[in-house]
Structure formats: C-alpha cells, structure tokens
Chain A
Amino acid sequence: MGTADVEAVWRVESARIVAALTRFTGDFGLAEDAAQEAVAEALVSWPRASPANPAGWLMATARRRAIDAIRRRAALQDRYALLAADPAADRTIDPEIDPDRIDDDVLALMFVSCHPVLSREARVALTLRVVGGLSSEEIARAFLVPVPTVQARITRGKKTIAAAGVPFELPPAAERRERLGGVLSVLYVIFTEGSTATSGDRLLRPELAYEAIRLARTLAALQPDEPEVHGLLALCELTAARFPARTGPDGTPILLEDQNRRLWDLPAIRRGLTALAMASAHPRHTSAGESTRGLGPYGLQAAIAAVHASAPSVEATDWDRIVLLYETLGRVAPSPVVDLNRAVAVAMASGPAQALAIVDDLIASNRLPGSHLVPTVRGELLARLDRRPEARAELELAARLCPNQPERSVLLRKAAALA
C-alpha cells in the first residue's frame, strides 16, 4: 500500500476515529494528536506490509497512542501514576466504534470544530482536517497559505477548545439551532472560497468546493430534519453545477449570460433540486423559536440558484421570481450584498434605471465600503443606460478594488470597451 492508499483509508475513517477517541478520552486535542500519529505510522509501515483490516489497524494504533499520551501526562503527576500503570486502565478505552453512538459523536465533532470560541480560520482548518480528513498540506494548498500557518491554526484551535473547557457533546436543545447555524456558516465559507476564490490567480477551486459539498452531505445524512442543512447542500450543488461553464479553457471567467448552458452538470442540478425539495418539506425554526414553513437564508439562495439552473437562457429566466426571492431573503437575512444582488435582478426584470436607484441607496448609506461589487454593478447599469464615461470610471474603480486576478482582467476589458 502506498501513501495514496493510506490517505484514502484515512479520508473514510478520520471523523469516526477522532470522534470515538474523543468520546473515550474526553480530550479532543489528545484524540486528534493520537489519530495523526497513527496515520504517520501507517505511512511508514503499510508500504512494507499491508494490514488485513486497515481501518481497524488505524483505530487500534490511534487508541494505543492515546493511552501512551494519557500515561505520559499522568506520569507527571505522581498520584495518577499508579492508576495509569494499571492494566485495567486500558479497558476504559474501547477500540471499537460503537455503531449506536458514532453518528452523534461525528456530529459532536463537527460542533466542536465549528465552536464559536474559535477563530474563523481555526474553524475552517479544524473542520477540514478533523471531519474532512484532509492533511495540513492539502488545506494549505487549498487556501494558498503556508503549511506552518495551517498547523499553527490547528494547534491554537485545539488549545482554545481545551482552555475554554468545551465539552464533547451535542449542544443543549436551546443552543442547538444557533450552533448548527455556526456549522453551516463554516461549510459555506469553505464552499464560497472554492466557488469564488478571494485571492490568487484562479477563479474556481473546485476541489475545495467539493470538500464543502461532501461535508454538507454528511451533515444532511446526520441531521435529516433540519431544512437549512438541505438548503445549504442545495445551494452548493446548484452553484457547483455551473462550474464547468464558468471559466474558459484558460481560466478566464465567463459571465452567466455568455455561459454555454449545455456544460452545466445536469445530475448535480437534479441533486440540488432534490435537496431544495427536502429543505421545503420540513418546518424551519427561527432564532425566535417560531416554526415556519418558509425557506431559510440558504434555502432561499438555493431557490434563486434553482431558477437560474432551470432557465434555458438569461432572457428566458424568471427574473420576477428572482426579485421576489431576493426581497424575501432581504427580510429573513438582511445584508447589503443581498440588496446589491436584488438590484441586478431588478435590472433584468424592470430595467437599469430602477436598479440604479437601489445601488445609489446602498452607496448613500455606505453599507458596503471598499467592495468591488458595488462599482461593478453600478458600472454595468450605467453602461446599459449608455452613460459611458461614468460607467467606465466605475468599472476601473471596481478593478482597483477587486482581489481576484481573473475577475480584475474581465473588469478592465469591459472598461476599455467603453472608451
């Protein structure tokens, strides 16, 4: 067995192993360290002799490393030394995964990795490594940061969890929904970084978007009655379905109106629509504790993506429905970005003049300072109104503010075309 084989087994087993070990040791950081040691050992020993049961081997080895760590720690404290040397102590850590418990334990692992005491970067790194089974190297590559940076985020994250005394359990009912929202937002951050990279020379990082989709599928399987989990999964599937048409062969972004819709991934669209139907099928609980049948923020964004996915062309898109969905989204989850997107939809449904009024309101209230999105949209609207010099100035401003290289090139090309 080679490195890729070890990594494959690890990918399948990591969440279950770390979850089971955390359950038995009560120490998330220790469990994660022990599991990583087991993988490191597998990388050395499996190429020489493949174990008959690779998953069992990883679990048993990780368990031994966890016991070693507990002993080392206990040996520092005399009064625990005897206890730890007692062979009976070994039996307190069961090497087997308890099938009745493991789903809750994996879920608890997701809640710990996305805990609000952690920084956003630490949540993302811990979730990808501990739940997703990615290596620090893979995470570093995906986020264009050095490997030591990722390692430091994970180490600090584990220390923060320990220092805050975060228990390894499902959040109590009263906090559950809010904490689930926290998990969803981590998955969404991972997905959006994959679907519109905030930096670097590529627009898309499909491998990162894939990790988010995979984690969302896991969460949907573990929490099938939570509509927003299905809503997020639907949003990711429907957005990723357009990836094949979103960039040209050289990586240049292709705008929605110019995309070859035959390149859209039809099975992904079907999966997205199925997930959206699941999101609509369950009553949703608002933060105020009320039950509503309406879609939540992720479900509404998925519904918008679904309108696009079902349309044969930009012209034949049901823009009125999209405007309505953005209005609802603006009420459920107010945000200047939602208003800006609504302006784009209004421009398509009712013309650029009405849309420009919405954008000018946004600028007047200075709710999106420094964002390249506002001048991008404003420039497009002005161009459609044939106010060319103003349009050009806006697009040039947008290009200066835009952090993504391929997007910047498109903006500059558009500005130049208005000369």
Chain B
Amino acid sequence: MSRYMLIMRGTDETNAAMMASIDESMAATGRFIEDMMKAGVLLAAEGLDDPGRGVVVDFGGEAPVVTDGPYGETRELFGGYFLLDVATKQEAVEWATRVPAVRGSKIEVRRVAEADEVPPGSEGNGQI
C-alpha cells in the first residue's frame, strides 16, 4: 500500500471551461469523491483558488523575489489534488482515469515518498 497524489494540471482554457459549467463540474467531483470514500481509498482532496490570486516566490537570484499572480510564462496550472491510499500504482492510475476532468487538462499521478525511504538517486540502494 502506498499513497499517491493525483495532481490536476489545467490550463487557462480548461479552467475557463470548468468555470463555465461550475455547478456540473462540482457535482461530478462530489460524486467522484464519494466513490473514492466508499472504496476506502481517499485520504484528502483539495482544490486551489484562482492562480491569479496566488503569489510566486522566485529563488532565481541571490534573495527570493516575491511576485503576485500566476506562474507567468508557464502554461500548465496546478489546480488541486486527490491523495489516495491504494495497493498499487495501477490502482492509482485507474482512479485517475475516472476523474471528471475537463477536456484538455491533465492529471499527474505521483507516489508520495515515505519517511523511511532513501530518495532515488542518492547514496544507498534506494529501494525498500
């Protein structure tokens, strides 16, 4: 059993499409969340506020530079996540295919590294 994060990646266009039918999309997401709860796999789910109201802290220079607004030139926007507790990666992927996502958006499936793991690429065997 591992924890996986399904990361919602939209664009300005998909966000606009979602907002155009926000009631439907909220209802579909609600049903999806309920399905995951009844399957005993959902640990957490959050949706993020408008990226325009966010702040970017840029570590490109000597000191961090704080700017308002979205990522700037980046097209893909991180819009929210579902955190799942599943037996296998395939199961996380199966749930990801069921997310009621807007056409054009993407979902990234990433495993949560556990505390007792050596990060991949560092010294040690890296596998548990």
B90 and A8 form a contact (CB under 8 A): yes
CB <8 Å contact, B38 and A5 = no
A9 at the interface (CB under 8 A from B): yes
For A206, A217, A222, A263, which residue has the most chain B Cβ atoms within 10 angstroms?
A217
Q: Is the CB of B95 within 8 A of A106?
A: no
Which of A12, A103, A222 makes the CB contact (< 8 A) with B95?
A12
B66 at the interface (CB under 8 A from A): no
Instruction: Give the chain B neighbours of A213 by CB distance below 8 A.
Output: 40, 85
Q: How many residues of A contact B (CB 8 A)?
A: 26
- Known pairs A210-B1, A263-B116, A271-B43; A221 contacts B91 (CB<8 A): no
The interface residues of chain B lying within 8 Å CB-to-CB of A221 are 34, 37-38, 40
Query: For residue B1, which residues in chain A have a CB less than 8 angstroms away from its CB?
Result: 206-207, 210
Other than the given A11-B87, A210-B87, A267-B43, 9 more pairs (CB < 8 A) read A8-B94, A11-B91, A106-B38, A206-B1, A213-B40, A214-B40, A218-B38, A218-B39, A271-B43
The residue of chain B having its C-beta at the shortest distance from the C-beta of A209 within the complex is B1
Bound CA span A375–B1, Å: 35
Residues of B within 8 A of A (CB): 1, 34, 37-41, 43, 85, 87-91, 93-95, 115-116
| Beta-carbon contact of A217 and B40 below 8 Å | yes
Distance between B123 CB and nearest chain A CB, rounded to angstroms:
16
Interface presence of A356 (CB below 8 A) = no
Chain B residues within an 8 Å CB radius of A7: 88, 90
Q: Which residues of A contact B37 (CB under 8 A)?
A: 217, 221
Please give the distance in Å from A298's CB to the nearest CB on chain B: 17
Q: Complex: how many Å from CA A263 to CA B38?
A: 29
- Contact between B116 and A12, CB atoms less than 8 A apart: no
B93 contacts which chain A residues (CB < 8 A)?
5, 8
Contact, CB under 8 Å: B116 / A103:
no
Residues of B with C-beta under 8 A to A4: 88-90
In the assembly, what is the distance between CA of A271 and CA of B116, in Å? 20
CB distance from A329 to the nearest CB of B (A): 26
Known: A210-B1, A271-B43. A5 touches B87 (CB 8 A): no
A244 sits at the interface (CB 8 A): yes
**Most chain A C-beta atoms within 10 Å of own C-beta, residue among B37, B40, B89, B93:** B40
Residue pair B91, A12 in contact (C-beta under 8 Å): yes
Report the separation of the CA atoms of residues A268 and B30 in the bound assembly, to the nearest whole angstrom: 23
Q: Give the interface of A toward B (CB within 8 A).
A: 4-5, 7-9, 11-12, 54, 103, 106, 206-207, 210, 213-218, 221-222, 244, 263, 265, 267, 271
Closest CB in chain B relative to A160 CB, distance in Å: 27
Query: Across the interface, which residues of B come within 8 angstroms of A9, CB to CB?
Result: 94
Q: Is the CB of A8 within 8 A of B88?
A: yes
Measured CB to CB, the closest approach of chain B to A113, in angstroms, equals 15
With most chain A CB atoms within 10 A of its CB, the pick from B43, B94, B116 is: B94
CB distance from B42 to the nearest CB of A (A): 8
Residues of B within 8 A of A106 (CB): 38
In the bound assembly, the distance between CA atoms of A4 and B90 in angstroms comes to 6
**Residues of B contacting A8 with CB < 8 Å?**
88, 90-91, 93-94
- Complexed CA–CA distance, A222 and B34 (Å): 10
User: Which among B85, B88, B94, B115 is the interface contact of A214 at CB below 8 angstroms?
Assistant: B85
- Report the bound CA distance from A265 to B94 in whole Å: 26
Which 5 A-B pairs give the minimum distances between C-beta atoms? A217-B40, A8-B90, A214-B40, A210-B1, A8-B91
Taking A207-B1, A210-B87, A263-B116 as contacts, is the C-beta distance between A103 and B38 under 8 angstroms?
Answer: yes
Closest to A271 in B: B43
Bound-complex Cα distance A237 to B1 (A)? 14
Partner of B38, one of A54, A222, A267, A271: A222
**Distance (whole angstroms) from the CB of A334 to the closest CB of chain B:** 31
Q: 18 interchain pairs (CB within 8 A)? A: A4-B89, A5-B90, A5-B93, A5-B94, A7-B88, A8-B93, A11-B91, A12-B39, A12-B94, A12-B95, A103-B38, A214-B41, A214-B85, A215-B40, A217-B40, A263-B115, A265-B115, A267-B43
* Alpha-carbon distance A267/B87, docked complex (angstroms): 18
Chain A residue at smallest Cβ distance from B95: A12
With the chains together, A106 CA to B37 CA distance in Å? 13
Chain A residues in 8 Å Cβ range of B115: 244, 263, 265
Nearest Cβ on chain B to A360's Cβ, whole angstroms: 41
Q: Which residue of A lies closest to B91 (CB)?
A: A8
Most buried by B among A12, A54, A267: A12
